[in-house]
Structure 1
Amino acid sequence: MRYRRPQWRNALILLSAASCALALTPAPSFADDVPVVLQVKTNQRIGSASPFLAGANNDQFWNNSHGLWDPAANAPDPAVVDKTRRANIGMVRFPGGTPAALYDWKSAIGPANQRACQTPGQPNGGPGPVDGSFGPDEYMKFVEATGARPDIMTPMINETPSDAADWVEYMNAPLGTNPRGGTAWAQIRAENGHPAPYGVRSWEIGNEPDRSAQTYWRSTDPTTNLREYAFGGTEPQVGQNLQRGCDRRPAASKSDGRANQQLKVYYPPVVPDSQTIYVGGTAWTAVADLGSAGPSDRVYEFDPKTGTVHFGDGIHGAVPAKQAVVTADYTPERKPGFVDFYAEMKKADPSIDVCATWAPINKESGLGVASFAQVMRQSGLADNYDCLVVHPYTNFRNVFGDGDWKTAQEGHDEYFLGEKQATDLVANLISDVRTNGSGRQYVATSEYGALWFGAMNDISAYPHWDTAMSHALYMASQWTAFSQLNLPWAMGNTLIGDTPTTLRSVLGGLPDLVYTADAVMREQFKPLVDGGGTTVATTVRNNPQVTPEATEDARFGTYGALATTAAVGDDGVLRVAVVNRDAGRAVTAEVVPAGYAHGDLAAVSTVAGQEFTSYNSVGDPDAVQIQRGRMSLGSTAFRYTFPAHSTTIIELHPAR
């Protein structure tokens, strides 16, 4: 590959000092042997430009959502609100993903000091019982303060379709109405301080039901699991620990040696007389009334409706020995599936979108078997869902089979080899839904990003990978892809964390709230996604291909240096977004705004940082920032050199 210095043929009319310094610093560039052409096809409309493509997942509802909520002020932290608005985070999900899979919304409304504990949804009980301090009303106050659009993940493991429909009514029913009879949830919302409906339109049913760690009561076989997610069913539970209150950690299933202990099975109600309760591996006997038992009788009472196991007090029934593990075999009664939730929630508010979440990302989680859309069509229910939500994460270890990076460049390359796979996954899902749906369904994503999922060895070669330019460029590449695929909304990374460098948090953590490179790029994309109008097609001819540095990554092929999208806003301005993912080389391309007559002057914004490893920190909060200027580019096609590891947005105004 030959290299050359970029020829800066763009006449600089008005640039900030910072922008000028960036633009005039020569960098190695791809050779001119094969000209790169970016064609913007303004007559090929993809769909309405969406302001919701750079949303964020809110991953924690307890502890006031990482401090986002200020209970003393009964309001969200103003700094979080300000930076959320600045970063243009147009959509925020609640109550989160896996940690919220067992969320009980009815225990999270009303006076905070009267709310019951919550059970986290992670395997083995996660951190143990947590509070419900950041509930639906607190979430909506934050959403209203930031101007974001809400999206609610409705758990289906511990909740019923009626519970979910009640939640829809609580959020959306006008005061004085009661769509389904029963409890007047709109009145309760008003009593909790919000008479007007919240108007939540996006609702997801479950979180990652295809993943092995989140099958819960369902089968681990993907084909059976899918049908149980879609249509409901039941599975015998064998050797399952019991929970104590909200605690599902393994230690909670051990006897504390006290009289009158009460524990619960995970998934009530239970088929009567299907249960066998074991204490220390020995089966005890169910009785109708402990009052008739003797002090050494190994017996218990059982309520199949609630799944509660009640042991004796040492006078009427024996007390399980301290530290003895209590387990259960039982069969839950039929559990509802997606179709049951969909039908009941639509009764509460027909205008909402109810999204399924069965969208496997690999063979282990269900790729290769029938899809959700196929199963629904085969069952004559092709129209009984509004959308399908996928979480197309790039999991470095799972995708690349390695637990470390020898160089930062290796990590950078794996970001974009993985991004290509993630985009293909979403595109294939869209095709599947179009083929098997009724024609009105869409695909969206409520979680995406690139990470190790904790399974990493030595990545000291790139210690700040999760907040550096590489990660931000990955996110920007996904935005361009989602735009070209016409996704109506997407939420990636998490909004806020516990510390300034919390994994994947857009705003770091309080009190510093580092405005990460990811946040900077979201701000840069604001004119593109908020301008209304229409997304138009873009293609890159002779897109330079980047060959990964690590030989073990070569089997995944190459990735294109440029990722692009464009939109013509309601104001008539054509905005072209270009992400150059190459870590060290600029790319000069001829930009052809086909079908669009534009003036000579253009506004240009660039985010690059000094290196692809650059990141914002508490000590250096502005290492990565937006550089803005105006340039003369001519009134037809023009050449532009896109710096290495950068995003650029060019705004072309219609010719006068």
Structure 2
Amino acid sequence: MAEPSKVDSRHSPTGLSRNLRRAAGIAAVAVVLLASTAHAVVGVGERKAPTGDATVDANQDPRTRIVVEPARARGAISPLLYGVNHRYAYDGFGMWDSGQHRAYPGLVAQTRAAGVTAVRYPGGTIANTFRWKRAVGPVGQRERSPHGTASFGEPLAAEFGPDEFGQFLEQLDAAGSIVVNFATGDAREAADWVEYMTAPAGSNPRGGTAWADVRADNGHPAPYDIPYWEVANEPDLAAQEYWRSGESEASTHELYAFGGSTRFERQPVATYDDHGPNAAVSNGAAGQVKYAKYPPVAPSGQTVLVDGQEWRQVTDLDSAGTEDVYELDRDTGKITFGDGAHGNIPAEDAVITLTYTSGPHDGFVDFYREMKAVNPDIQVCSAMPTVGFLAAMGSEHAYDCVVQHPYVGPNQLSNDLPVEEFRAQFLAQADNRSAVVAAAQERIRTHAGERSEDVSIVVSEYGHLARSNPQGVEHYHRSLDQGLYNAELLRELIDLGGVSVAMRHTLVDYVFAEPPEGSTAVGAPDNAIIAGPGPETVPQGQAHVFTLFTQMMGDTLVASQVVDSPVHMLQNGDHLQAVTALAGTDDRRQLYLIVINRDARQDVTARVDPVGYRHGSAAEVWTVNGPSYLSYNTPTRPDTVRLTTRTVAVGHGGFDHTFPAHSVTAIKLSERS
């Protein structure tokens, strides 16, 4: 008998799938209702509700008030909204001690303290060409995968492989989300990975290799908790089309949905683990091997060119003489050249290209079918949220979730703005980014019909793109403002409903030490919620905000409203409401209120009114703040931005509380017996 999983049932694929389908149903109803009623908080930007979501007496004085109605439940809050995107390469970007073969203990403790509930792997762009079977087993025997960024493509090692990822999840008591290789892999490879990670040892759901037993032989008999699986990363972007970038009569979204073939003219060849530009250059060695980037290679019509001169395919180099020939394995795309006696050697520095038809390739529908056949309880997500894909899928073809990456970047903000105006416009973007998610929900309802009731949104990356930065501020992406934005977007997503998972980019990176060569090509180190590398990692403001939400939010959203918040008009015509709020309860009838004061300079004193709630005379108050909205933590000053906790007297009714400038505050009240 297989060893049962020891994972908490709230994260298990079966339990989580059931609970989130129920939550998604509640959220879908809530979204429909909210379309004709009011939002809890007046939105920043231009999205305004006509009236409040809580009852307000207009005759009271006009100072800022926060009205909370715990009796008016608005739906469940997914426990997996407090997640992070994480990447496998470069020792997990500084969190993996390859000498001790473990995550740095300090990093584990800090991630647990942050309350991270979901982790994505093996990352974003680099996940697109990750070959998982090369990354399991003894570390010394593992092979490298190509870099997913086409302009780099260099080989990446996987000391932090799938098993290390699964065990890291167990250390955190977190659920996993995995991005499968759509660019250079196929549906069978993805299904094998589902089996390796989630099937009980002793089972073999699809025949062939019993991958769960391979996992057990590699030291982990129990399945890992990986309820979410994304098919590709950002396939709607031109830079991540891979085999779909070739010529085809079908559109790229149709190719993503249903698969197919494409044609490439004089594409530079690759090597087994390198898709970079230099991989196409001959080293002048005998018997060298190159690869088509996107096999399989169609049975006819391919041409290999060496410095523009066509070479001829043969079935057996041993039978060839001193002639320009090669062997080709169409399934793998392997191209083998001669040793000088049996087939010529391409001259050193010659560039080798291949003209060929790539395919046929599997599409999303094939990945979905094969992966669900292994484990019907997992959630298989489409990573293409476009109208074209959703219309092509219609209501006929299934998908469990749709991925969104609602980043703030240069398209939303001008880098020419002075810092105080920039940060105001940046913080106001949370409303606009949640509107992007809401628009995706509407597209799903339009095209999926009745299926849409069971489709959730997975926000598997969000944050602030490095290319967007205010004047004269070198490390804005480390700042307390990023924590305020993190809190505000979480507030928006919880208020919106229908989002099952959200993951901030990124967990950890080389912030306070020189990164390995090539690692900076995969994003901005300053975006890490925990600045590395280990062993001396440093939590930033975003990590403290996660702690606050995971400990002080509850699991049921209730009605709340901010009345008469200070409002700042912005140069772009938007406005920034200084104070926003969100309220929740738990099964012990405790009431939680999270308040974000986005004002750069002014504290705001507000009257907190818990309508109809008989609470005790003391409240627990947690606050994330620092000396400035630009503050961040360093190894020598790790507590510049910090989380403080205290108990305050509040009496038995409404009470006043002062919310510091540039802060996130949580207040917990307990019901009076």
Q: Which amino acid aligns with 1:390?
A: Q
Partner of 2:641: 624
Residue in structure 2 matching 1:513, options 537, 542, 548: 537
Contact 2:106–2:536 (Cα < 8 Å) also in 1: no
Q: Could you report, residue by residue, the CA deviation over 1:576-604 in whole angstroms, capped at 9, with x for unpaired residues?
A: 11111121223333333334332332221
Contact 1:416–1:581 (Cα < 8 Å) also in 2: yes
Distance verdict in 2 for CA 1:148–1:347, change over 3 Å: same
Residue in structure 1 matching 2:115, options 83, 88, 100: 88
Partner of 1:49: 77
Quick check: 1:650 aligned with 2:663? no
Quick check: 1:386 aligned with 2:403? no
Q: How does 1:117-516 map to 2 (within 5 A)?
A: 117-126=144-153, 128-219=154-245, 224-295=251-322, 297-359=323-385, 370-377=387-394, 380-381=396-397, 384-395=398-409, 397-400=410-413, 402-405=414-417, 407-437=418-448, 438=451, 439-453=453-467, 461-486=472-497, 487-500=499-512, 502-509=525-532, 510-516=534-540
CA distance in 2, matches of 1:252, 1:229: 27
Q: CA RMSD in A?
A: 2.3
Contact 2:475–2:526 (Cα < 8 Å) also in 1: no
Report deviation, 1:107. 1.0
Q: Which amino acid aligns with 1:446?
A: S
Contact 1:484–1:537 (Cα < 8 Å) also in 2: no
CA distance in 2, matches of 1:319, 1:130: 28
CA distance in 2, matches of 1:507, 1:184: 38
Report deviation, 1:291. 4.2
Distance verdict in 2 for CA 1:184–1:592, change over 3 Å: same
Report deviation, 1:38. 2.8
> What is the DSSP-based 3-state SS (H/G/I as helix, E as strand, rest coil) of the residue aligned with 1:328?
strand
Distance verdict in 2 for CA 1:595–1:325, change over 3 Å: farther
Contact 1:46–1:535 (Cα < 8 Å) also in 2: yes
Partner of 2:617: 600
Quick check: 1:116 aligned with 2:143? yes
Q: Which amino acid aligns with 2:292?
A: V
Q: Which amino acid aligns with 1:98?
A: T
Partner of 2:561: 539
> What is the DSSP-based 3-state SS (H/G/I as helix, E as strand, rest coil) of the residue aligned with 2:260?
coil
Contact 1:76–1:141 (Cα < 8 Å) also in 2: no
Contact 2:82–2:546 (Cα < 8 Å) also in 1: yes
Q: Could you report, residue by residue, the CA deviation over 1:13-34 in whole angstroms, capped at 9, with x for unpaired residues?
A: xxxxxxxxxxxxxxxxxxx995
**Alignment identity in percent?**
38
Partner of 2:579: 562
> What is the DSSP-based 3-state SS (H/G/I as helix, E as strand, rest coil) of the residue aligned with 2:229?
strand
Partner of 1:22: none
Q: Which amino acid aligns with 2:91?
A: N
CA distance in 2, matches of 1:222, 1:331: 13
> What is the DSSP-based 3-state SS (H/G/I as helix, E as strand, rest coil) of the residue aligned with 1:327?
strand
Partner of 2:105: 78
Partner of 1:25: none
CA distance in 2, matches of 1:608, 1:385: 41
Report deviation, 1:290. 3.4
CA distance in 1, matches of 2:300, 2:339: 23
Contact 2:107–2:535 (Cα < 8 Å) also in 1: no
Report deviation, 1:236. 1.0
Residue ranges of structure 2 left out of the alignment (5+ in a row): 1-59, 514-524
**Once structures 1 and 2 are overlaid, which stretch shifts more, 417-426 or 461-470?**
417-426
Partner of 2:551: 527
Report deviation, 1:79. 0.9
Distance verdict in 2 for CA 1:89–1:419, change over 3 Å: same
Partner of 1:18: none
CA distance in 1, matches of 2:294, 2:366: 17
Q: Could you report, residue by residue, the CA deviation over 1:88-131 in whole angstroms, capped at 9, with x for unpaired residues?
A: 111111111101211111111111111111111112234x1121
> What is the DSSP-based 3-state SS (H/G/I as helix, E as strand, rest coil) of the residue aligned with 1:605?
strand
Contact 2:295–2:332 (Cα < 8 Å) also in 1: yes
Contact 2:466–2:477 (Cα < 8 Å) also in 1: no
Q: Which amino acid aligns with 1:527?
A: Q
TM normalised by structure 2 equals: 0.84
**Once structures 1 and 2 are overlaid, which stretch shifts more, 348-357 or 233-242?**
233-242
**Once structures 1 and 2 are overlaid, which stretch shifts more, 164-173 or 218-227?**
218-227
Distance verdict in 2 for CA 1:584–1:75, change over 3 Å: same
Contact 1:390–1:446 (Cα < 8 Å) also in 2: yes
CA distance in 1, matches of 2:429, 2:625: 21
Partner of 1:583: 600
Partner of 1:615: 632
CA distance in 1, matches of 2:250, 2:317: 43
Report deviation, 1:537. 3.3
CA distance in 2, matches of 1:539, 1:392: 25
> What is the DSSP-based 3-state SS (H/G/I as helix, E as strand, rest coil) of the residue aligned with 1:398?
coil
Q: Could you report, residue by residue, the CA deviation over 1:526-577 in whole angstroms, capped at 9, with x for unpaired residues?
A: 3234x4x3122333344433233xx4xx15x223223322110122111011
CA distance in 2, matches of 1:33, 1:325: 77
Report deviation, 1:150. 1.4
Equivalences, count: 597
CA distance in 2, matches of 1:89, 1:199: 14
